[in-house]
Amino acid sequence: MSLCLLPRVMVVLCSLVSMASAADWNQFRGPDTAGVSTESGVPTTWTATDNLAWKIHLPGPGTSSPVFHGQQILITGYSGYNVPGADMGEPADLRRHLIALDRKTGELRWNTPVQPALPEQDRIRDGHGYASSTPVVDDQRIYCFFGKSGVFAFDHQGKQLWQADVGDGLHGWGSAASPVLFDDLLIVNASVESESVIAFDAASGKERWRVRKIRETWTTPVVVANPAGEPELIVAMQGKVLGLDPQTGQERWTCANDITWYIVPSIVEEGGVIYGLGGRSGVASFAIRTGGRGDVTASHRLWTAKKGSNVSSPVLHEGRLYFMNDSSGIAYCLDAKTGDIVYEARVPRADQIYASTLLVNDRLYYVGRSGRTFVVAAKPKFELLATNDLDDRSLFHASPVATDGRLFLRSDKALYCLEQK
């Protein structure tokens, strides 16, 4: 890299992490959106009683992950309608919730209900529910995306500051993408609601730009620094990936990914190269070098492969891409340079995996829908270190979080805080 580019790269990198300066795990998959934690002391083994610091029953189910700011844990849920294990209820009784818990003890601090825009989807497959998007938080506000009900900003006491509409589209799988911050913008993938990616002024909720024809994607957008030091907003969807200017929404490049169906997993990035998973058959993973202009399929697409995952997101570690397929119970390690399989291993007792992969130092955490969590060594030879059960007859769709030397797992019923004792 030219020395003259270094100041620009540093400015971009500072912009990408500025919102995380006061909050360690402030958004979906952590401050760098990579699902990587450098925490020490996080337990490898646990049960419903061993290495359990606390378990807090939540005011409502949801599939969003917790985020952390100051002394609070922030998480979303819903109540009143279509709650697993309860009577169906009436749509008019549906409420979405932003919930704050004490970071150390899990004690409920406040619970802000939000009345939804109706009609809402009356059936959502696989128990995804109405609170799938993980909040993002900075020093000023907490931001939540509640599908067709819109985007909301709250202060740190739970008072609503603004609301913005994103469209009224519905889908049988619900809405899932999480909002992200870049500089003074809040960016949301509203593919379900309006086939758009929309950027809002984070302070006021005013729409700043919109990109249309964003189809068949539930993935959370990410902002990365390309090799020239420019920030790029990456949006993956069926058939292609877009590289956008995050300040304006202007398209810089497009690249075919050959994914024949929708995309859910989030992009990960290293060294100016992005890696993605998606689809149910055929090509299921890809690598693209950022920084191009126009159609870069021939020049910047590095590889595609037929091993991937339809739901769960991967992690990168020491030049290798790790993930577990959402339905087959097979754990994969791919060479990030070539896409070649380093290993594929069937994991004993594995169930479906919807949660994204978490890397804690040299350990991979794969959380199944039953709550059974597999801890695997992050190395090029498969090694299962532990299999852990919580005996919670509920759904675990939320991605795990490691912070404060603890591991946090969210089910439809409760939030678990696990620590080494």
Output the domain CATH number for residue 72: 2.40.128.630
Residue 333 sits in the same domain as residue 388: yes
Task: Identify the domain containing residue 202 by its residue range.
Answer: 64-214
Instruction: Assess if residue 292 is contained within a domain.
Output: no
Average pLDDT of every residue of the chain: 93
Instruction: Assess if residue 131 is contained within a domain.
Output: yes
Residue 93 sits in the same domain as residue 48: no
Residue 69 sits in the same domain as residue 205: yes
Asked if residue 185 lies in contact with residue 198, where contact means CB atoms within 8 angstroms, the answer is no
pLDDT at 21: 37
Q: Count Cβ atoms within 10 A of the Cβ of residue 343 and give its class: 0-12 exposed, 13-18 middle, 19 or more buried.
A: middle
Q: What percent of the chain has pLDDT over 70?
A: 95
Which candidate, 108, 106, 141, places its Cα nearest to that of 23?
141
Instruction: Assess if residue 226 is contained within a domain.
Output: no
Q: How many CB atoms lie within 10 A of CB 60?
A: 22
What's the whole-number mean pLDDT along residues 47-53? 97
Residue 155 sits in the same domain as residue 52: no
Instruction: Assess if residue 361 is contained within a domain.
Output: yes
**300-340 residue pLDDT tens:** 999 999 999 999 999 999 999 999 999 999 999 999 999 99
Q: How many CB atoms lie within 10 A of CB 172?
A: 11
Question: Does the structure show a pLDDT above 60 at 23?
Answer: no
Instruction: Assess if residue 336 is contained within a domain.
Output: yes
Q: Which residues, including other chains, have CB under 8 Å from residue 377's CB and lie 6 or more apart?
A: 362, 363, 364, 383, 385
Residue 201 sits in the same domain as residue 324: no
Give the Cα separation of 146 and 22 in Å (integer): 25
Residue 71 sits in the same domain as residue 170: yes
Strands, E assignment, 250-340 = 251-256, 268-270, 273-277, 285-289, 294-295, 301-305, 315-317, 320-324, 330-335
Q: How many CB atoms lie within 10 A of CB 248?
A: 12
Give the Cα separation of 101 and 135 in Å (integer): 14
